[in-house]
């Protein structure tokens, strides 16, 4: 379970551009939930993800994960149990290394690095099997540099790599936004398959309202640092894209857009 308790976050403190994004913001996410987060630009979606991952500091409040207060933990420490897939397919992989080398590094992220081989030959067949399950033919390109792969192939790899070691939480930061519609659908199907098979607690920020409605167990809409819409269970199952879109339109009108 993740709890954000009384989170306060200010930007540009002490300047004429000072802004309070979160003012004692609270949110609870139960273990095993798949939460889709939508909202306009500047609503606090990505900032919330960065706060969970430790990418940015907070000015007040606490972050509790499975009963542990991780508020003061550094980002690299949280990365041991929080997987993250970014919007840019290049962000989750190393382009100058091969698929095999990338998988080996991801497989060893919680271990100690010393003066030994960076690849694990004993795990080669395991990596091939995991990649074969994606259905993109990556298992036959183990010694191909990742930099020559398509964006969809790299994002599929990033998904597998982020969940290769046991994690408690998965963060998806608009991970289909840079892909064409067909590839984005493929990545969403893969995402759903991985999340379900591993039972991962997941937060996905997306601008695709269809994905927010069709996937996951809960929909959250952010606006000006607040959660203004929260549906789960039967209410979420009955939700339509038109319902979410109408709320977007109402907010836009109220904001003068």
Give 13-37 pLDDT, tens digit per residue: 888 888 999 999 999 999 999 999 9
| 143-169 pLDDT tens trace | 999 999 999 999 999 999 999 988 989
Residue 115 has pLDDT above 50, yes or no: no
Mean pLDDT within 195-200: 93
The pLDDT score that the predictor gives to residue 114 is 55
The pLDDT score that the predictor gives to residue 227 is 92
The pLDDT score that the predictor gives to residue 253 is 59
Mean pLDDT within 193-216: 94
How far out from the chain centre does Cα 44 lie?
A: 14
Mean pLDDT within 64-85: 93
200 to each of 158, 191, 204, 246, 255, how far by Cα in Å? 16, 11, 12, 30, 36
3-state secondary structure of 206: coil
Q: Which residue in this structure is represented by tokens 């289909």? A: 176
The pLDDT score that the predictor gives to residue 135 is 87
The span from the CA of 135 to the CA of 148, in Å, is: 18
Residue 254 has pLDDT above 80, yes or no: no
Residue 118 has pLDDT above 70, yes or no: no
* Residues 180, 36, 30, 154, Cα dihedral to 10°: 10
Mean pLDDT of the chain: 90
| 233-243 pLDDT tens trace | 999 999 999 98
What is the enclosing helix (H) or strand (E) of 241? helix 241-254
Q: Which residue has better confidence, 136 or 119?
A: 136
Mean pLDDT within 126-132: 92
Residue 219 has pLDDT above 70, yes or no: yes
Percent of the chain predicted with pLDDT > 90: 72
What is the enclosing helix (H) or strand (E) of 147? none
């Amino acid at each position: 379970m993740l709890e954000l308790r009384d989170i306060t976050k200010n930007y540009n403190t002490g300047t004429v551009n000072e802004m309070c994004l979160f003012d004692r913001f609270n949110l609870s996410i139960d273990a095993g939930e798949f939460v889709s987060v939508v909202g306009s630009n500047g609503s606090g979606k990505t900032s919330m993800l960065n706060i969970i991952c430790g990418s940015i500091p907070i000015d007040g409040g606490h972050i509790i994960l499975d009963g542990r207060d991780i508020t003061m933990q550094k980002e690299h420490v949280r990365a041991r149990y929080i997987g993250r897939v970014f919007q840019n397919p290049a962000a989750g992989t190393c382009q100058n290394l091969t698929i095999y080398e990338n998988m080996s590094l991801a497989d060893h992220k919680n271990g100690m690095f010393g003066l030994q081989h960076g690849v694990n030959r004993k795990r080669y067949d395991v990596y091939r099997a995991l990649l074969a399950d994606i259905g993109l033919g990556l298992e036959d390109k183990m010694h191909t540099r990742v930099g020559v792969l398509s964006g969809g192939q790299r994002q599929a790899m990033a998904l597998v790599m982020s969940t290769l070691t046991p994690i408690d939480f998965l963060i998806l930061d608009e991970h289909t936004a840079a892909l064409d519609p067909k590839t984005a659908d493929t990545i969403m199907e893969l995402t759903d398959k991985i999340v379900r098979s591993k039972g991962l607690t997941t937060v996905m920020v997306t601008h695709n309202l269809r994905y927010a409605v069709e996937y996951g167990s809960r929909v959250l809409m952010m606006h000006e640092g607040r959660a203004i819409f929260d549906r789960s269970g039967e209410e979420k199952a009955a939700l339509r894209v038109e319902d979410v879109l109408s709320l977007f339109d109402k907010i836009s009108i109220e904001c003068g857009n």
